Structure 1
Amino acid sequence: MKSQEEVTKKRIRKPLRILLKTLGAIAVAIVLFLAIVFIVNVFATNSEQEKIESYGQHVSVDGKNMNVLIQGEGEETIVLLPGFGTATPALDFKLLIDQLSPFYKVVAVEPFGYGLSDETEKERTTENIVSEVHEALQQLNIKRYMFMGHSIAGIYGIDYVNKYPNEVTAFVGIDSSVPTQPGMDVNFPLKKLEFLKKSGLLRLMMKLGADPYTGLAFDEKTVEQMKMISFKNMNNDTTLNEMDHISSNFKGAQGLTFPKDLPLLLFVQADNQGVAGWIPLHEGQIKDSVHGKVITMDGSHYLHHTKFKEIAENVRTFMKVAK
């Protein structure tokens, strides 16, 4: 007869073997899942690359191609700069550009790492980004212009207008960032974000997430192009490097103010739950301005997706008075 000890050991071994087999099966399933996601991402990326349609024109900056879309033939020029992570700026601004271009020459700049522009290994400091945008405008022989920027373009823009005061005729912010806004000293998980991109998990998450263009006025073809370019650009090495510099770029801008005599128009989200004192922060930026105005609007951070008509109309009215 078997001893009680042997019987007990046998009883323990059986569930242990089942547990180990189960864990092994789960591990194999996870590896297989990740492999499928990776392969699907590779094939989808290659397929989409052939379907992405070019727009705008390439300008040589620092030995690389920067994409710029120019629309309209007005006597005055507006230069548009996107917020951080807006994967396809010229198309993202399309609704606003269509409203502005009958009256202005509109120049939508896609910085390196965005839209159809090349990536770059150059550090994404404010100094480098501002210098590159300026070089692109110089190459296009654009000498006088309003500077209009969304989100983090408020940080690059405040530096830009101080460096090139004889070129910029006004600054217009679309829910633009403020150097002293709280919460910008965060360290981002860059390695995890890089893994999500290269593994294909980011594509899967974007596919399973809510469609950011639902209910907006973009046509179907534009939405399709924006999605494909987003899959290409999101979390690329250039924008991750920019993310790594966000804290230092905000800190570096804290000593800057907009020139008092520069017309300053700020469109601000009326109910920003994420940043304390969002409206007062912008009101502080215009308090010493000779021609300064804050206009609050109901909507998301991407005000130009829904308030493009109102933005265009207010820009025209404001500039007539500020001249």
Structure 2
Amino acid sequence: MQRKDIETELGKINFAYRKENPLVVFLNGFGSFDTGQSFSKVIESLPNEYGYFAPDYLNSGFSGKSLKDYTVSDEATELAKIINDFKAEKVVILAHSIGGVYAMQMKDKINNLKAFVGIEPTTREIMLNPPNEPAYIEKNKNMAKLQEKIEADLREIFTPEENKKFWTTTEQNAKKFDEKDNLKAQAAYENDSFWKNTTRISDKTPSVVITEKYRENEYMRSEYVSNNSQSKVVVMGDSHYIHFEYPKQIAEIVEEVIDF
């Protein structure tokens, strides 16, 4: 897995990549996990002729500390510039969790965007007006079990050596950043304009959202599902980290949207 650092006015952005066409842009969730490692089994399941771009956000992973205050929109603009330098004829965004907010901020800045695939992307509804339904309440009660589920899923898809490397890398990267850095990353997310506007995925863009069953209706009415005839919500998995459960199936969905 090749890696590269790009110095931006916001700070150093590190990314794993393979420069081919079509290009799949992997956007991670919030936290210490490195994007390339998180999606490694999805990447391995894609055809070798596909390129990929898997950046780590500022103040996380292999990237550096932010040099000044910023928002997700600011960082997404820098990421879009790097993506456009790949000069891909087809680009597909695959975004997990908060990565969906990044995708919404860069969708109009990326050249040749073909489709969007979201793995439980963060919705305005879940942050600003979460559903008061039994399934959501029960899920929140069991959040403590999420780490156990992540560890179990990684043991399923990774060899013991890969699993050890994943957690060692995560711990080492996390140690680079202090509480101040974590608060800057949190502020970039909380202060972003996404929460106050009504931006949606364009009807010109096919979108596929992958979710656990209990959130299906939330996504059907969300900003991530366009009125494009190819758009749909796919129910899959029992965890927010569905790409840890079903990497091959997610790779198949990416191939499908590229062929639309």
TM-score of Structure 1 vs Structure 2, range by shorter chain: 0.7 to 0.9
CA separation in 1, counterparts of 2:63 and 2:196?
Answer: 26
Map of 1:308 onto structure 2:
247
Secondary structure class of the residue paired with 2:25:
strand
Change over 3 Å in CA distance of 1:163–1:281 after alignment to 2: farther
Map of 2:140 onto structure 1:
none
User: Unpaired segments of 5 or more residues in structure 2?
Assistant: 131-146
Matched to 2:164, the amino acid is E
Q: Once the two structures are superposed, what CA deviation does each residue of 1:253-277 show, in whole Å capped at 9, x if it has no partner? A: 5411111111111111224xxxxxx
Map of 1:83 onto structure 2:
29
Q: Once the two structures are superposed, what CA deviation does each residue of 1:123-180 show, in whole Å capped at 9, x if it has no partner? A: 241221211212332454557411111101111211211344x432211101111122
Q: Kindly indicate whether residue 53 of structure 2 is the aligned counterpart of residue 107 of structure 1.
A: yes
Q: Kindly indicate whether residue 213 of structure 2 is the aligned counterpart of residue 213 of structure 1.
A: no
Map of 1:280 onto structure 2:
217
Q: Kindly indicate whether residue 67 of structure 2 is the aligned counterpart of residue 118 of structure 1.
A: no
Change over 3 Å in CA distance of 1:210–1:269 after alignment to 2: closer
Matched to 1:283, the amino acid is M
CA separation in 2, counterparts of 1:228 and 1:266?
Answer: 31
CA separation in 2, counterparts of 1:176 and 1:119?
Answer: 25
Map of 1:16 onto structure 2:
none
Change over 3 Å in CA distance of 1:95–1:316 after alignment to 2: same
User: Unpaired segments of 5 or more residues in structure 1?
Assistant: 1-53, 186-208, 272-277
CA separation in 2, counterparts of 1:139 and 1:317?
Answer: 25
Q: CA deviation at 1:250?
A: 7.0
Secondary structure class of the residue paired with 1:56:
strand
Q: Kindly indicate whether residue 34 of structure 2 is the aligned counterpart of residue 95 of structure 1.
A: no
Instruction: Pick from 183, 200, 205 the counterpart of residue 240 of structure 1.
Output: 183
Larger relative helix fraction:
1
Larger of the two Rg values belongs to structure:
1
Change over 3 Å in CA distance of 1:247–1:63 after alignment to 2: closer
CA contact (8 A) 1:180 1:250 kept: no
Secondary structure class of the residue paired with 2:151:
coil
Secondary structure class of the residue paired with 1:147:
strand
Q: CA deviation at 1:72?
A: 7.2
Instruction: Pick from 258, 279, 286 the counterpart of residue 201 of structure 2.
Output: 258
Map of 2:163 onto structure 1:
223
CA contact (8 A) 2:72 2:189 kept: no
Change over 3 Å in CA distance of 1:250–1:65 after alignment to 2: closer
Secondary structure class of the residue paired with 1:107:
strand
Q: Any residues of structure 2 matched to 1:14-25 within 5 Å, and which?
A: none
Map of 2:230 onto structure 1:
291
CA contact (8 A) 1:88 1:116 kept: yes
Map of 1:181 onto structure 2:
126
Map of 1:319 onto structure 2:
258
Q: Kindly indicate whether residue 9 of structure 2 is the aligned counterpart of residue 62 of structure 1.
A: yes
Change over 3 Å in CA distance of 1:57–1:222 after alignment to 2: farther
Q: CA deviation at 1:252?
A: 3.1
Q: CA deviation at 1:65?
A: 3.2
How many residues get paired?
237
Question: Which is bigger in relative contact order (C-alpha 8 A, separation at least 6)?
Answer: 2
Matched to 1:170, the amino acid is A
Instruction: Pick from 134, 146, 158 the counterpart of residue 92 of structure 2.
Output: 146
Instruction: Pick from 153, 170, 183 the counterpart of residue 115 of structure 2.
Output: 170
Q: CA deviation at 1:316?
A: 1.8
Q: Which piece of structure 1 moves more, 254-263 or 110-119? A: 110-119
Moved over 6 A (4+): none
CA contact (8 A) 2:77 2:105 kept: no
Q: CA deviation at 1:319?
A: 3.3
Percent of paired sites with the same residue:
19
CA separation in 2, counterparts of 1:317 and 1:93?
Answer: 18
Secondary structure class of the residue paired with 1:69:
strand
